[in-house]
Structure 1
């Protein structure tokens, strides 16, 4: 009888542990959101504005270099050209950092609003998930 009681107690512990663990696992499952970053990047008006600013800056730097080309020695011109390129690249990197920060912030907001456990890029998702692309674009307006 003693062995039978031990086996019953052990079986009861195993059943309770299984029930508890399956309940915890069920609570922790969450919905995965997907976002089409290519669409976000092409339709985000802020990116279009920044691209226009970059194009304007590139034209301005190019025109300034062309004006100075005739009066500068080749070495001086090359230094000015490198400085202009560095200035342009810094501006571009600053814009990219701003866009990345804004997009990340908006993705986090949308994920919280929709109670998503994670958001992944659409190109990494074969099927399923909640598409939050339009929500992200609306908030980036």
Structure 2
């Protein structure tokens, strides 16, 4: 009888531990952000895309001038490779800038609304709070405030 009681207590203890470690009863909310919508509607994203387009135009104009200056094929190839690398670094920096801006806004909203985790919308099918519109509003507000302080 004592052995049976210990087995039952051990089972109950294991179940309780499993429930605690699995997050059972966790009331944290999950939020989603639709990055596609942000890319399509945010003026900040459109500004970054324009900066990338302007950089592409600048690089292309520079390469055209260097091509007309009579450089050898080998030198021109080096210039093209350097320009491609310059563009890649510029695009990556702009992508990181945008990502950090979105993450900062998501983090602030999550903290205010007591949200435990923010995920991409396509990763969460149903049951999460959509904070995309709030992120868009804050990005627009922060981009105006950021440009006024410069």
Query: Structure 2 length as normaliser, TM-score?
Result: 0.74
CA contact (8 A) 2:110 2:118 kept: yes
Query: What are the equivalent positions in structure 2 for 1:96-135 lying under 5 Å apart?
Result: 96-135=95-134
The runs of at least 4 consecutive aligned structure 1 residues that moved more than 3 Å come to none
2:89 matched residue in structure 1: 90
Question: What is the CA distance between 1:25 and its match in structure 2?
Answer: 4.6
2:57 matched residue in structure 1: 59
Query: For the residues of structure 2 that align with 1:42 and 1:117, how far apart are their CA atoms?
Result: 27
2:148 matched residue in structure 1: none
Secondary structure of the residue that 1:117 maps to in structure 2? strand
Query: Structure 1 length as normaliser, TM-score?
Result: 0.79
2:77 equivalent to 1:78 = yes
2:139 matched residue in structure 1: 140
Question: What is the CA distance between 1:35 and its match in structure 2?
Answer: 1.3
2:145 matched residue in structure 1: none
Q: How many residues align?
A: 127
Gaps of at least 5 residues in structure 1 are: none
Secondary structure of the residue that 2:71 maps to in structure 1? coil
Question: What is the CA distance between 1:127 and its match in structure 2?
Answer: 1.3
Bigger radius of gyration among the two: 1
CA contact (8 A) 2:38 2:45 kept: no
Query: For the residues of structure 2 that align with 1:111 and 1:130, how far apart are their CA atoms?
Result: 10
